[in-house]
Chains A and B, each alone.
Chain A
Amino acid sequence: MEILVIADKKFNSRLFTGTGKFGSYSLMREAIIASGSELVTVAFRRAGASNDNGDDIIKYLQIPGVALLPNTSGVRNAKEAVLMAELAREALETHWVKLEIHPDPKYLMPDPVETLNAATDLVKRGFIVLPYCHADPVLCKRLEEAGCPAVMPLGSPIGSASGLQTKAMLEIIIDQSNIPVIVDAGIGAPSHAAEAMEMGAHAVLVNTAIAVAGDPVQMANAFRLSVEAGRMAFEAKLGTTKKEAEASSPLTGFLGV
């Protein structure tokens, strides 16, 4: 399999994972290890609890070969996002950030205007910005132009587990993009992940489907395999499928050979 490169960083695994919703931190850690993921995102607002209740999520994310990707979940506009990214850079000592601006706390829909503004500002401030965004081909090009080294369009509403509802748009995004496309949100089953990879997505980010599975560790493993299978199939070049049968009286037969 081809090595994925984002902003000069190499990834053997094309499965990125989240850290929310797990029943315990140790289970989260085991699942991440089983997933083979080398990049895990964590909401910065969850980090840094100064108490003795074992609520130190970062401690459980110290896994060899796994890089932390703090995200700005919870912010409502570009200003707050930039502030949170700066806080995360200082506290977690990484200039990578997953930019998430969803001012709508119900459906967690990303705000395209604020996201583009924040991405522009954060790139200037020296961040590696991976923006979570709508499956909007124009917006993805604008984010690329702003200097983002990858885009993270959604497959369907976050947490919905309803698969690639935005497939037609994702195909355009992947076709047009000069930077890696990471399908984020809505991937509810390994088959969805495989589908995204077969389409040519460069990576996927999965959280809920692993975290709330009956056995998160086994599910993480299943996603690892499906992402690998999907990528291999893409690299092997899928045979085209014909939608209609061969016509019995060809229209171009009169041309001869």
Chain B
Amino acid sequence: MFIFSEILKKHDWIEIRDSIQSKTASDVEAALYKHTPRSLGDFQALISPAAAPYLEEMAQMSSAAAKKRFGKTIQMYIPLYLSNECQNICTYCGFSYHNKIKRITLKDEEIVREAEAIKKMGFEHVLLVTGEAGKKVSMPYFKHALSLIRPFFSNISMEVQPLEEEEYAELIRLGLHSVFIYQETYNRESYSKYHPKGKKSNFDYRLITPDRLGRAGIFKIGLGVLLGLEEWRTDSFFCALHLKYLQKNYWQTKYSVSFPRLRPAAGIQLGSFFENGNGTSHFITDRELVQLICAYRLLDPDIELSVSTRESRNFRDHIVKLGVTSISAGSRTNPGGYSLYHESLEQFEINDDRTPSEVASMLEKQGYQAVWKDWDRNL
């Protein structure tokens, strides 16, 4: 079977990194000013250091491209954390197995209370999130949770452990619309370092999850790398490569890309992630993140681009005009966080704590309409 792991084998990390680093101003200009769809080579130029002086121009073009395709609208969503139990060790995550925290998996009445609380804030699009605790939080739990949650919302997404194709197909029949599955990093060695134990340590199984989703007929797949784990330009190239591969093979599926940057979390020393052996840093600056977002928009005018409350109020206020299409608001990243346990442990710290209506008014002030409902639960 033709799957992405075969494509990945043909691309060498170091070669790609060097290729991006060697891009010149004329490569960037060729990528910027072309009238035909841009290639992955153009994407390399646009995310390269050589493109830095072109940032304002990229932002103008990205903004115009998003406006043309999506208009002056931003889709609103919110995460609903169902469980923080996790058997994986992910060295950057607050839910990591070794973290001595209170573990909670929401029960029926708790799920309903959370759904009601979220609904009250006005949301129609909800993202269900869990850790990976196979015995306790797996298909039977997901199916049951979906049946409880579906009556409340128009559109349901999931960000949980990778599942099998038939399992996805079953969840889609029960009303699942989208699945977000971030590879975290496309660098196999680094991946092993950050994910030493648990099912998540299997790089390839995670890597071909979008293939399983595509075959199951999912409406939308969300991709992304966790920015801060590896050198962001090379990692993002691989994510774009993955995107292009998926679009050609599962052409009826919609795609979105998210840009999670590492955030402080309980038990995690962030400083350690931003230094590699050579004394350089994997940290991505605001300026570089804007460059990356604009590069994606110019690579693919039709892609959905999402920014969460990991980012600061100021950054989000400005980024909505630059080509982003969906944002979360009012998020809590702990199970029960909306109605039950304001104290339980968060997956990561929120960086923009405005209420959803405050975020919607911010959009309005900028001439953008917050879109709360863009799907129908009967579909």
- Could you list which residues of chain A lie within 8 angstroms of chain B, going by C-beta atoms? 20-25, 43-53, 55, 74-76, 80, 83-84, 87, 103-107, 159, 161, 208, 211-212
Contacts and interface: CB of A to CB of B under 8 A. Distances in A.
Q: Is the interface of A mostly helix, strand, loop or mixed?
A: loop
Contacts of A53: 122, 356-357, 360, 370, 372
A53 B370 CA distance: 9
Interface of B: 67-73, 119, 122-124, 154, 220, 247, 251-254, 300, 302, 356-357, 360, 364, 367-376, 378-379
A52 B122 contact: yes
Given A20-B71, A51-B119, A51-B122, A45 B379 contact: yes
A218 to B, nearest CB: 16
Contacts of A24: 364, 367, 369
Nearest to B375: A45
Contacts of B376: 44-45, 48, 74, 84, 87
22 contacts: A20-B71, A21-B67, A22-B72, A23-B367, A43-B374, A44-B376, A45-B373, A45-B374, A46-B373, A46-B374, A48-B373, A49-B122, A55-B124, A74-B376, A80-B379, A87-B378, A105-B253, A105-B254, A106-B247, A106-B254, A106-B300, A212-B68
Nearest to A108: B302
B375 A104 contact: no
Contacts of A159: 68-69
Contacts of A50: 124
A215 to B, nearest CB: 12
Q: Is the interface of B mostly helix, strand, loop or mixed?
A: loop
B268 to A, nearest CB: 35
B76 to A, nearest CB: 8
B255 to A, nearest CB: 8
A47 B374 CA distance: 8
Contacts of B70: 21
Contacts of A104: 251-252
Given A55-B371, A74-B376, A105-B254, 20 more contacts: A21-B70, A22-B73, A24-B364, A24-B367, A48-B373, A48-B376, A49-B154, A50-B124, A53-B357, A53-B370, A55-B122, A55-B124, A74-B379, A76-B252, A80-B379, A83-B379, A84-B376, A105-B252, A105-B253, A106-B300
Contacts of B122: 49, 51-53, 55
A48 B356 CA distance: 19
A53 B364 CA distance: 12
A78 to B, nearest CB: 13
Nearest to A87: B378
